[in-house]
Amino acid sequence: MRLPELSLGLSFLHLLLSIYCTNAHLPNFGDYESRYGPRRPNSQDPGNYGGAYLDNRQLRNNNRPGAANFEDATNVDQQRTRREYLIRSHETPSGHNKCRIWVPPETVEKYPHASVIQADQSKRLSQIEVCCTGYSASRYRGVTACRPLCGCRNGSCRAPGECDCYEGFVKNDNGDCVFACPLGCQNGVCYLDGSCQCDAGYKLDETRRFCRPICSSGCGNSPRHNCTEPEVCGCAKGYQLTDVGCQPVCEPDCGVGGLCQEDNQCDCAPGYKRKDGVCQADCYQKCNNGVCVSRNRCICDPGFSYHEESTMCVPV
């Protein structure tokens, strides 16, 4: 065989091998979808502003007629702290989330990791240093640390009643830490590029990390109403449904001597004053860790019982 013919034959063989290798490495989109879910339609690609993708973009007012109806998740932590996290009037902060209080001597051991500061024999009381209300005591190598409590899931407590979500989670309108893409998407599905596609009847919030319900006709101009489910208007956070519509709910509750008003504020009736977050009567008892509901009646908080001699509520 002559040299030109041999060169031509080798070139043809190389071409056949290239075509074979290319076909062998083409992606199998059937396997792709079985592993990762359906591919994003072209109209929902962030680089192609098609109609379906634009319909799912979160509007600033979330289908609500006025800005007054809009509740951002960032406002959740700005609301008044629940009573179980409030430092009480009988507690004197002493630093490092610790407080000093006066208690009957026989009850000192009921307070976790308490340090006795001094004793008042005339009043039969002892001053101790403990973690302030809203903090939990833990001891390591002889040192007591007071860490905040908040009862949050998928997050850590930065202060009593305040939660920071872990990485991969986002705070929704209710203040809960929920999955964010790529881990998950509330009321939607995640794509490999980290974006979220909302289910029917939902649209992305302004952070584009979770989905809010859509009420196409809005929910009126009152800040008391909100879109709670697709095409369902209910009471906004901080309100509850009654026979006369959505009424404000205070946290903590205002007590028997108070009425909850707008913006989580209590209006105390005559004869009552605001103390430790609730409206209390001017009773003769000290009623520490409790609520005075009348002149001579003290109701202790959960986990406390009435101590007759000191007129305080002490741990059970």
| pLDDT of 28 higher than 60 | no
Give the pLDDT band of residue 8 (cuts 50, 70, 90). low
SS3 4: helix
- Could you tell me which residue, 304 or 223, shows the higher pLDDT? 304
In this predicted structure, the answer to whether residue 182 has a pLDDT above a threshold of 80 is: yes
Instruction: Yes or no: say if 290 and 301 are a contact pair by the CB < 8 Å rule.
Output: yes
* pTM score of the predicted model: 0.65
Phi-psi region of 32 (alpha: psi -120 to 50; beta: other; left: phi over 0): alpha
What are the residue ranges spanned by the domains of the chain? 48-86+134-236
> Computed over its alpha carbons, how large is the radius of gyration of the chain?
31
Q: How confident is the model over 244-294, as pLDDT tens digits? A: 888 898 887 888 889 998 777 889 999 899 888 889 998 889 999 999 998
Q: How far apart are CA 149 and CA 59, in angstroms?
A: 35
Summarised one tens digit per residue, pLDDT across range 51-103 is: 333 333 333 333 333 333 333 333 333 345 678 888 999 999 999 999 999 99
Closest CA to 239 of 221, 257, 251: 251
* DSSP-assigned letters across all residues of 25-68: TS--HHHHHHHH-PPPPGGG-TTS--HHHHHTSPPTTTT-SSGG
Contacts 24+ apart (CB under 8 A), 161-166: 161/81, 161/82, 161/84, 161/85, 161/134, 162/77, 162/81, 163/77
